A and B are shown apart, each in its own frame.
Chain A
Amino acid sequence: MQGFTPNTDFSELHSTMRAIELASNSIQMQISPAASEAIILSLGQSSQPYKTCQFILENSLVATARFQAAAAIREAAIREWGFLNADDKRSLISFCLCYAMQHASSPDSYVQAKVSSVAAQLMKRGWLEVVAAEKETLFYQVNQAILGIHGVDVQFAGIKFLESLVSEFSPSTSSAMGLPREFHEQCRRSLERDYMKTFYQWTQEAASSVTNRIIESDSVVPEVKVCTAALDLMLQILNWDFRSNTSDTKINVFSAGVGQDGDSFRRPECHLVQPGSDWRDVLILSGHVGWLLSLYAALRPKFTYEGYWLDCPIAVSARKLIVQFCSLTGTVFLSDDGKMHERHLLQLLSGILEWVDPPDAVSKAIENGKSDSEMIDGCRAILAIANVTTPCVFDNLLKSMRAIGTLTFLSMWMSEVIKVLITRNTEDGTWSWEARDILLDTWTALLMPINTITVNDLLPSEGIKAAANLFGFIVECELRMASASAFNDEGDSDYLRASISAMDERLSSYALIARASIDVTIPLLTHVFSERVTRLNQGRGIIDLTETMEELYSLMLIIGHVIADEGEGEMPLVPNAIQTQFVVNSVEADKHPVILLSSTIIKFAEQCLNPEMRDSVFSPRLMESIIWFLARWSSTYLMSSDGIGEKILDSGHHYEHSSKKVLLSFFGEHNQGRVILDIIVRISLITLTSYPGEKDLQGLTCYMLLHSLVQQRHICVQLVALNSWHELANAFSTEKTLFLLDISHQRSLAQTLVRSASGVRNSEESSQYVRNLMGHIATYIVEMSSKSNLKNVAQQPDILLSVSCMLERLRGAASASEPRTQKAIYELGFSVMNPILVLLEVYKHESAVVYLLLKFVVDWVDGQITYLEAQETAAVVNFCMRLLQLYSSHNIGKISLSLSSSLLSEAQTDKYKDLRALLQLLSSLCSKDMIDFSSDSIEAQGTNISQVVYFGLHIVTPLISMDLLKYPKLCHDYFSLLSHLLEVYPETFAQLNSEAFNHILGTLDFGLHHQDVDVVSKCLRALQALASYHYKETGNGNIGLGAHAMGLKDSSGEVQEGLLSRFLRSLLQLLFFEDYSSDLISVAADALLPLILCEKGLYQVNDSS
């Protein structure tokens, strides 16, 4: 072989081998691993080490040394591939291949596997340059091996080689070769088009050739290994991401076969196998599936024998392949109305049934110690089938064999699984959990399309019945689990939100099942719910009701999911099944099952208004579920603004949604809506006043229920007309108990109440409403700040608490600012401007209060700034500057210390939050120049926003230490503001005094070398803006950045470089010599151009040097 070091003689080869052997051994024994590693690495890195490596492979007795030699061949060959001549390449590949085959029966099979994978990688490397004939020769050898001519071991090695070849060619598992993605893609396409099917056929033949031996023998024979490998390879090939049938042959897989309907609605994670029509003969017509099923059927009786068991490799592989075949779909089947596909699925199903039927017997066997793998794989198979069929096709499959449909069977099967789940009451992770989840997914896959598109007859009537039965059983079991767990005290994690989000997926699947048979399930739920309520009423004061309460809690969650969807920020519609499945005439609206159910629950909830009932029945947890339900229910049904929802819906479907109309009009503004709204408000008031210290409950009331009510104006109109709403507003202003709410809840409540002002008739009255609501709070702050002994009393805990409450309420009101109430809220804030400064002085050591003060100002300014007239703007800007200066004077140069490191880090965090608020304040001020609704220009009052903000930044910047910039959010805010300023107001920047100017330059420099790409690109954008500004201005004969751009002499007489040349230098330095993200290239280039244009001279000098 020319090219290999010609003068290598035997002794040299031998000594290298010894060295590698030694190194390999010492690595294993962990003796000086670094040195040994270096020796081994040097082999792969040396030039053309092939002969040495081959020598080692053939002669070394140390397996790890052989392994390292194979790795070295791979490394060197991939690196030197371009220099090797065709013969070398060919001989390397065939050496590896032959080696793997010849040593197939040797021990240390990992060496053979490695060599075989090296062969596969080299083959792929040369794939596009080698002519077909050459590949044929190589593959001929492989084929011979796979056919079993050279014995079982070589057959196994051949299959394994194909396995590594296929995995090399699959993009997700390929090894890196330092080549463009295009190369990998071409290889993938070529293999898929020309070889994949052939490989599959060879494997098939190999597997069939050993099948008889396996079936006939009662003990494990060597052929089992071959068969397992063949099954694995088939699975791997079927897992291939087939694309040729979709793009190249231009066959739309979605239009072929009945099984495709509604695929687009299915969840994306379900994996479909779509090899295309070319594969029909191999996969379908050849009786391949029949062979596979009979192989597995023949294996099953052997599981009691020595060497076989339910989870032995061949059984696992066979089951996996069977499950994979269930996902087969697309043009591989004839487009004969899905007949061929159905036959295929039926054949599979009949095999799979053996594993799981009858479910009760199988589950009993598993509980008695049998492995659960067949059960779980059976669940997976049925899920796969559900993913490729419509509910009708799915249901019909079983009917040809049994008296019942598949849906009925699925329902029985799942009931059995749930039964085991609750009787054993086991922990997460057991088989019944897993089986339950997979089967629930199966239902979801079947029912999801029906839920989203309006088709009435998609589900066969028996299937509806099956779903109804299953749902009934699910409810029964959930209730049983609820009552069993009523006394479990699982501690703090078990509050409503956590438990809902954990259960959410399950509950949504339950809801789908319930909606499939909605006309049965709704009355069922009504019945079960009323029964529990009766039990509560009868047992009250006599027996312990905890179990019933927990059952109601759980029912509330289930019902909420069944009858309403989560809006996710949008307005949820009435679920499709409820819209279409009920035929009701509008006269008998109160007999509509959903109305009955809703009314029952609301009536029950209303009982909490009675103090006696409240104490004995309505526990905080039960109330949480009630509030959650009311929030979810009301956003779908309560005074749903029919107009919008109907239009969207009717545009698509021309159904007479009588059911929906009846529902919405019943709960509409002119019917029961007002009464129910009143009840909801009263219940909310109760949770806020009569459940002291129940933060979670009150949080739900404030954030979920009340907050969502005031989002729609027409509901606000109703709200402000209700006495109960005024009671709530009064309680908010005067009631002591509401001051005991969590202060952030008070803020939310203030926001909600102020927002409801949008329902007041005109803007005059809404302003009055806001004044009534908030006026006394402002008065309190004003009076407090003018107290002569303020300094003494301010730090008393009671004063501290009430000041905090008031500030949070003010902030809530400020954040609810709308055009209508803007004036009133401006006055509110204006009246407390000075008091705020007084309080900031008094509470300078009380970081919590300082933060509240700042946040109020931030929210107030943010809500107001765009509306303010010139004079008001001047007042606000002036106030903000005083605030900044005062804050700065308290904090600059301050060193707080504490013995406790956690208190210290808290103090640091407080500072960070303060500064972030201040930066937000400056950003809000900045926005005045962008959006302004006022009638006159603010310049009239001599307010220059850019100067103000630069000044503000000048005050804030010294407070921002390097440590604080480690908080990513603060860092981002800071650099966003800075780059915004430099981009928009370069002229103001040019006028800054040199101290402020240099500080900003320093910051920019710091930002350029920051780790965060975002920060760097912000700085680059700022630089670009500065340089472009300077270039344009000087082009027009102006001074631009003037003296700053030139060099300056500092106080000590040394010449300081001008800023542009300084940044040109540091940017070039960054680009040429430092590591930076490729995302920055474009921004960096944008910044570089104007810099070069400004500093041509410097650039050229640097260039030439």
Chain B
Amino acid sequence: MSDEEHHFESKADAGASKTYPQQAGTIRKNGYIVIKNRPRKVVEVSTSKTGKHGHAKCHFVAIDIFTSKKLEDIVPSSHNCDVPHVNRTDYQLIDISEDGFVSLLTENGNTKDDLKLPTDDNLLTQIKEGFAEGKDLVVSVMSSMGEEQINALKDIGPKN
């Protein structure tokens, strides 16, 4: 594992400003990490040594937060890793369009119409049924490194 790969500066692409360098040793289970330029959630960390008297290295198993692909990486613990900025915002659901897009109400009163319905069957039916029943639904949208996805739903009571 060469050092360059873990230098945050070397990532000159658009995602660079959306990631932060952080020492590998401080990244814990349930934290986030960038592996192969994708934001991922760490589900397993273990440490080992490079040779008996060498330095510690971290072994990460992480899952892509959007696609759920699993990936592993090994990084010396004292080196830096990229950590993605993962943001989650709640919006009230206003409408579901025919072509599978949702219309969301932002905090400043505008609408946000560029998000598709989630592909997950369970969440999809919950949203569709809840909306059809006229419930007041709040969806939470996870965004990171220029990507967005609806990942949670909350029912805040019947529509008045």
Residues of chain A touching chain B, judged by Cβ–Cβ distance below 8 Å, are 485-492, 494-495, 546, 549-550, 619-622, 692-696, 740-743, 795-798, 801, 845, 847-848, 893-900, 902-903, 906, 910
B87's nearest neighbour on chain A, judged by CB, is A795
Q: Is B38 an interface residue (CB 8 A)?
A: no
As a 0/1 sequence over residues 25 to 64 of chain B, the CB contacts with chain A under 8 angstroms (1 = contact) are 1101011100000000101001111111111101100010
Minimum C-beta distance from B53 to chain A (A)? 4
Quick check: is B156 within 8 A (CB to CB) of the other chain? Answer: yes
Chain B residues in 8 Å Cβ range of A494: 49, 52
Given known A845-B88, A895-B153, contact A693–B51 (CB-CB < 8 A): no
B24 on the A face (CB < 8 A): yes
Q: Which chain B positions have C-beta within 8 A of A900? A: 63, 68, 70
Q: Which residues of B contact A491 (CB under 8 A)?
A: 48
Asked if B92 CB lies within 8 Å of chain A CBs, one says no
Residues of B near A492 (CB, < 8 A) are: 46-49, 59
Q: Please give the distance in Å from B62's CB to the nearest CB on chain A.
A: 10
- Given A486-B53, A696-B56, A897-B153, 17 more A-B residue pairs with CB atoms under 8 Å apart are A492-B47, A621-B49, A621-B53, A692-B25, A693-B55, A693-B77, A795-B85, A797-B20, A798-B20, A798-B22, A848-B30, A848-B31, A895-B123, A895-B126, A900-B63, A902-B63, A903-B68
Interface positions of B from 68 to 125, Cβ below 8 Å from A:
68, 70, 76-79, 83-88, 118-120, 122-123
Our count of residue pairs bridging A and B at CB distance below 8 angstroms stands at 138
CA distance A848 to B27 in the complex (A): 12
Tell me if B47 and A696 are in contact (CB < 8 A).
yes
Alpha-carbon gap, A621 to B155, bound state (A) = 53
B53:A899 contact, CB within 8 angstroms: no
Bound: A801/B24 CA distance, A = 12
Tell me, rounded to whole Å, the shortest Cβ–Cβ distance linking A550 to chain B: 6
Whether the pair B77, A695 counts as a contact (CB closer than 8 A) is yes
Interface string of B119-148 (1 = CB under 8 A from A): 110110010000000000000101000000
Binding site for A on B (CB under 8 A): 19-20, 22-26, 28, 30-32, 41, 43, 46-56, 58-59, 63, 67-68, 70, 76-79, 83-88, 118-120, 122-123, 126, 140, 142, 151-156
10 contacts between A and B (CB under 8 A): A490-B52, A743-B26, A797-B22, A797-B85, A847-B30, A894-B153, A898-B68, A898-B151, A900-B68, A903-B68
Cβ A694 vs Cβ B26 within 8 A? no
Residues from chain A with a CB closer than 8 A to the CB of B156 are: 893
For the complex of A and B, 5 pairs with smallest distance between CB atoms: A693-B77, A693-B25, A492-B48, A619-B53, A900-B68
Distance in angstroms from B130 CB to nearest chain A CB is 9
User: Nearest Cβ in chain A — how far from B71, in angstroms?
Assistant: 12
In the complex, are the beta carbons of A619 and B54 less than 8 A apart?
yes
- Which residue of A546, A848, A893 is within 8 Å of B52 (Cβ)? A546
Contacts of B67 in A (CB 8 A): 899
Give the nearest-CB partner of B75 in chain A.
Answer: A693
Q: Flag if A795 contacts B88 (CB, 8 Å).
A: yes
Question: Are the CB atoms of B56 and A899 closer together than 8 Å?
Answer: no
Partner of B77, one of A495, A694, A797, A906: A694
User: Do A693 and B24 touch (CB < 8 A)?
Assistant: yes
Do A894 and B31 form a contact, CB below 8 Å, given A487-B51, A621-B53, A900-B63?
A: no
Chain B nearest Cβ from A840, distance in angstroms: 15
CB-defined contacts of A695 to chain B, threshold 8 Å: 25, 47, 56, 77
B46 surroundings in chain A (CB, below 8 A): 492
For B24, what are the chain A residues with a Cβ–Cβ distance below 8 Å? 693
Q: Known: A848-B31, A900-B63. Is A894-B53 also a contact (CB below 8 A)?
A: no
Q: How far is the CB of A702 from chain B (nearest CB, A)?
A: 14
B89 to chain A, nearest CB (A): 9
Q: Is the CB of A903 within 8 A of B41?
A: yes
If A693-B77, A897-B152 touch, whether A906 touches B52 (CB-CB below 8 Å) is no
Please indicate the chain B residues that have their CB under 8 angstroms from the CB of A485 in the complex: 52
Q: Name the one of B43, B56, B59, B88 contacting A620, with C-beta atoms under 8 angstroms.
A: B56
- Asked if A692 contacts B78 (CB within 8 A), the reply is yes
